[in-house]
Amino acid sequence: MSRTLWIILGLPFLVFNNQIFAIEGNPALGKKKSETCLGCHGVTGYSNVYPSYKVPKIGGQNKDYLISALKAYKAGDRKHGTMQANSYRLSEEDMHDIAAYLSSVK
Ligand code: HEC
């Protein structure tokens, strides 16, 4: 199929998709969903609870960055056993909720 045809077919879908299915993360749900995450992240000094190793700061982080990082772990594009294990069960909606909550914390 020609590229033009793909664009013609794809454009209405993209517009539709963005308007109807734009997921607005819900910070209240995200707070619950990120409880497991905070055992490692969100601790003073950015170490895990024990604290035996360093973890990146995710509270207050940019929302889109958080979503793309989680997707990258889930897809295996970003390799890290722990985070791949923590992201594989997250749905697109979970990621948006979590990112909405985390980006709102100071
Ligand atoms: C067992 C500890 C642990 C748990 C639980 C955990 N993480 Fe992580 N997380 C890490 C570590 C370690 C890294 C750094 C990985 C790397 O170097 O790629 C990381 C990286 C990240 C990053 C990338 C940060 C950056 O600056 O690029 C995000 C986003 C993230 N975690 C979100 C989450 C979320 C959301 C959850 C809960 C669903 C979660 N993590 C649960 C340990 C954990």
2 falls within a domain: no
Of residues 3 and 80, the one with the higher pLDDT is 80
Beta bridge partners of 54: 47
Residue 42 sits in which domain range? Answer: 24-104
CB 72 within 8 A of CB 79: no
Q: How many domains does the chain have?
A: 1
99 falls within a domain: yes
| Identity of the amino acid at 16 | F
> Which tokens in the block code for residue 35?
């409880």
Q: How many angstroms separate the CA atoms of 102 and 59, rounded? A: 5
In short, whether 10's Cβ falls inside 6 Å of ligand 1 is: no
9 falls within a domain: no
In short, whether 80's Cβ falls inside 6 Å of ligand 1 is: yes
3 falls within a domain: no
In short, whether 41's Cβ falls inside 6 Å of ligand 1 is: yes
CATH number assigned to the domain comprising residue 38: 1.10.760.10
Indicate the pLDDT class of residue 1, thresholds 50, 70 and 90. low
Phi, psi (degrees; rounded to nearest 5) at 81: -50, -50
Q: Tens digit of pLDDT for each residue in 49-95?
A: 555 567 888 888 999 999 999 999 999 999 999 999 999 999 999 99
